Structure 1
Amino acid sequence: MDYEDPYESLPPTSTPTTHMLAGSAAGVLEHSVMYPVDCVKTRMQSLVPDPKADYRSVLDAFNTIIRHEGMLRTMKGAPIVVLGAGPAHAFYFACYEFLKKNLSGGKQGNHLAHGLAGSVATLLHDSVMVPVDVVKQRMQMFNSPYTTCRMCARTILKQEGMFAFYRSYTTQLTMNIPFQSVHFMTYEFMQDWLNQGRNYNPVTHVVSGGAAGAVAATVTMPLDVCKTLLNTQERCTRTHASYINGMVSAFRTVYEFQGVRGFFKGLTARVIFQMPATAISWSVYEGFKYIITKKQSVEDALPKRLSIGSAASASSHTK
């Protein structure tokens, strides 16, 4: 198919602000709804978890946290994620739409262009979300000494410096570039399969988004474990240096403590998080696009109707 689809590319008058608003709404909803599962994932990836923990499954881990620490504990650190997800996803989707349109020429089926657009968009997204993840994951850890996100951020800045907020940036990019490439390519492939006409169809957006999240999460799981370690800096793992710096050091530490299986701890939780999270994100984003497109179509049709009506009226007067 080499035609330009009006819904898929959005109206010509749409602006980056449109994409940013849609992306911001999608990001906030995605992270807010799925935050408790994200907390469970972080706990399951911990090299030294709660000694009373029963983390054999996602449900066991969730029940353990609630039983010993209360339901609100699964939402600790959520405020900073909500605050960061808005601008991060705004830049992310705006950049993706711009590059997707220019690299593919507005035509369907060019999944390489989709993957490349997603990879570049990740650079903007992660520049905002990496510091947010550092604070969030330290708040999520068992026996975290921090009571608020502000207290956590101030303590990190004072004790470890600004670099601590970007210690995992390289690993995050190493993970997220392939993650987003696989994510967008899978999503667009599923849309080609389920929704060839690229019409607004919530069911196909949910299914495609869920599949994209599951595939991308599985492929990049070892890197996510290393990212968590770099963000949390669990003190008991610092056997060779004051801090664990860099991807190689993180990989070595995880392997020393838990072997190969350590790189896949929390995989089920991550897939359970990513499937509905990406489904929610794409559904909200595509829904926002659809509303904007329909509104623009109505606004474009109105002058035509008025001109036709005026012409008909003039013709009747002439007669």
Structure 2
Amino acid sequence: MHNPHMHPTDRKKELLYNNRIWIAASSAAICGVVAGYPFDSIKTRMQTYQYSSLWSCLKDTIKEEGFAGLYRVNQNSLTYITFSSTIAGGISGSAIATFTCPLELVKIQMQLSELINKERLKTIDVLKAEIFKMQNVTSSSYQKRLASLRNLENIVELSKNTNPEQSSRFRNLNSIKSIIRSHGPLGLYSGISINLLRDFLGSGIYFGTYETSKLLLKRVMKSNDSSPITHMIAGGICGVFAWIVIFPIDLIKSQYQKNLLAYPGNKQNYFECLRRIYASGGLKGFYRGISVTLIRAFPLHALNFTIYEY
């Protein structure tokens, strides 16, 4: 209960103290997303498209989209990560995924929008060439390709007709409308099951590894108290370890959502994504793009926990 005679400065201090957990979590999340978002963007691109290396992906992105391409829809990602990190201490990873799945899907669409449009145009050219070669115009194969061609041409035409100025100002809203138009309101929850699996495993491993690492570091340093360096190292370790475990799941999720966004009329399933990944790269294929993720993981999560604890 507030004291009515309390000085305004003391009230502010009391308010900050009472909400210190939420403030710390939000501050850590904001700092983390600003520092780590370009790495997340590169990770998604490497997971969903064939790049020879991290540097090749970075060079092509900057060349074709400028540095702004690395921070595409940063506001949306900031909302997503701040929200999920803030409530992570009180709600399990599976519950977080339920709330943030639509934001994750919108983030994927905005990160890959340029690449998806280019892929659609290439697919249109391939379909036209295949249709031209076919003789039997009444065959089911011909009709299927023709339907796919018309569907893709309509999608590309809609994206061309988008007002560029409005797209820049309301890109998140436009992305949501596009998903709902293609898949209905429940389309925003496309990939929810694999999001649940990833976040359920990830959260348990993440926080469990952090507490274990912190305890072991305190023993090594022969100290009862955790120092900033302890939080920094433990945070970095838990981030790296969690990503090593869940990265294949995240890769399948990204592939599934990219295919869903690029080809709205086609049915997608996780096992087909898994099969394609294995066919193109074997077991190593499930870790395509992990280099940039690990480069980001240690400093980002070290920063998160250092800010959160202090």
Question: Is this a same-fold pair by TM over 0.5?
Answer: yes
Matches within 5 A, 1:133-282: 133-141=104-112, 142-144=114-116, 147=167, 148-196=171-219, 197=223, 199-233=225-259, 242-245=266-269, 247-282=270-305
Give the unaligned 5+ runs of structure 2: 1-16, 118-158, 160-166
Q: Tell me how far apart the structure 2 counterparts of residues 224 and 56 of structure 1 sit (CA, whole Å).
A: 20
1:32 pairs with one of 13, 34, 50 = 34
Deviation at 1:281, TM superposition (A): 1.4
State which drifts further: 72-81 or 128-137.
Answer: 128-137
Q: Tell me how far apart the structure 2 counterparts of residues 225 and 89 of structure 1 sit (CA, whole Å).
A: 21
> Which letter does structure 1 place at the counterpart of 2:292?
A
Distance 1:191-1:237 versus aligned 2 partners, 3 A rule? same
Distance 1:236-1:133 versus aligned 2 partners, 3 A rule? closer
Asked if 2 retains the 8 angstrom alpha-carbon contact of 1:91 and 1:124, the reply is no
SS in 1 for 2:52: coil
SS in 1 for 2:225: coil
State which drifts further: 130-139 or 81-90.
Answer: 81-90
Q: Tell me how far apart the structure 2 counterparts of residues 286 and 43 of structure 1 sit (CA, whole Å).
A: 33
Q: Tell me how far apart the structure 1 counterparts of residues 226 and 200 of structure 2 sit (CA, whole Å).
A: 27
SS in 1 for 2:115: coil
Q: RMSD between aligned alpha carbons?
A: 2.5
Deviation at 1:30, TM superposition (A): 1.3
Q: Tell me how far apart the structure 2 counterparts of residues 253 and 151 of structure 1 sit (CA, whole Å).
A: 30
Q: Tell me how far apart the structure 1 counterparts of residues 27 and 282 of structure 2 sit (CA, whole Å).
A: 40
**Cα deviation code 1:29-71 (max 9, x no counterpart):** 212210001010011001x44xxxxx33323321221123211
Q: Tell me how far apart the structure 1 counterparts of residues 241 and 263 of structure 2 sit (CA, whole Å).
A: 30
> Which letter does structure 2 place at the counterpart of 1:66?
I
> Which letter does structure 1 place at the counterpart of 2:188?
F
SS in 2 for 1:143: helix
Q: Tell me how far apart the structure 2 counterparts of residues 278 and 253 of structure 1 sit (CA, whole Å).
A: 32
> Which letter does structure 1 place at the counterpart of 2:301?
T
State which drifts further: 255-264 or 224-233.
Answer: 255-264
Q: TM-score, normalised by structure 1?
A: 0.68
Q: Tell me how far apart the structure 1 counterparts of residues 261 and 71 of structure 2 sit (CA, whole Å).
A: 23
2:98 pairs with one of 121, 127, 148 = 127
> Which letter does structure 2 place at the counterpart of 1:201?
S
- Which of the two has greater helix per residue? 2
> Which letter does structure 2 place at the counterpart of 1:127?
T
> Which letter does structure 1 place at the counterpart of 2:79?
L
Q: TM-score, normalised by structure 2?
A: 0.70
SS in 2 for 1:243: coil
Q: Tell me how far apart the structure 2 counterparts of residues 90 and 66 of structure 1 sit (CA, whole Å).
A: 32
Deviation at 1:200, TM superposition (A): 4.7
Asked if 2 retains the 8 angstrom alpha-carbon contact of 1:92 and 1:124, the reply is no
Deviation at 1:124, TM superposition (A): 3.2
Q: Tell me how far apart the structure 2 counterparts of residues 160 and 79 of structure 1 sit (CA, whole Å).
A: 24
Asked if 2 retains the 8 angstrom alpha-carbon contact of 1:226 and 1:250, the reply is yes
Report sequence identity in percent: 22
Q: Tell me how far apart the structure 2 counterparts of residues 143 and 125 of structure 1 sit (CA, whole Å).
A: 29
**Cα deviation code 1:261-283 (max 9, x no counterpart):** 32111011121222222112111
Give the unaligned 5+ runs of structure 1: 1-13, 50-54, 96-119, 288-319
**Cα deviation code 1:71-106 (max 9, x no counterpart):** 11100021101122222222112x0xxxxxxxxxxx
SS in 2 for 1:56: coil
Asked if 2 retains the 8 angstrom alpha-carbon contact of 1:77 and 1:137, the reply is no
SS in 2 for 1:128: helix
Q: Tell me how far apart the structure 2 counterparts of residues 31 and 209 of structure 1 sit (CA, whole Å).
A: 15
Asked if 2 retains the 8 angstrom alpha-carbon contact of 1:237 and 1:253, the reply is no
Q: Tell me how far apart the structure 2 counterparts of residues 189 and 207 of structure 1 sit (CA, whole Å).
A: 12
Distance 1:201-1:86 versus aligned 2 partners, 3 A rule? same
SS in 1 for 2:268: coil
Deviation at 1:127, TM superposition (A): 2.4
Q: Tell me how far apart the structure 1 counterparts of residues 253 and 23 of structure 2 sit (CA, whole Å).
A: 29
Q: Tell me how far apart the structure 1 counterparts of residues 226 and 26 of structure 2 sit (CA, whole Å).
A: 20
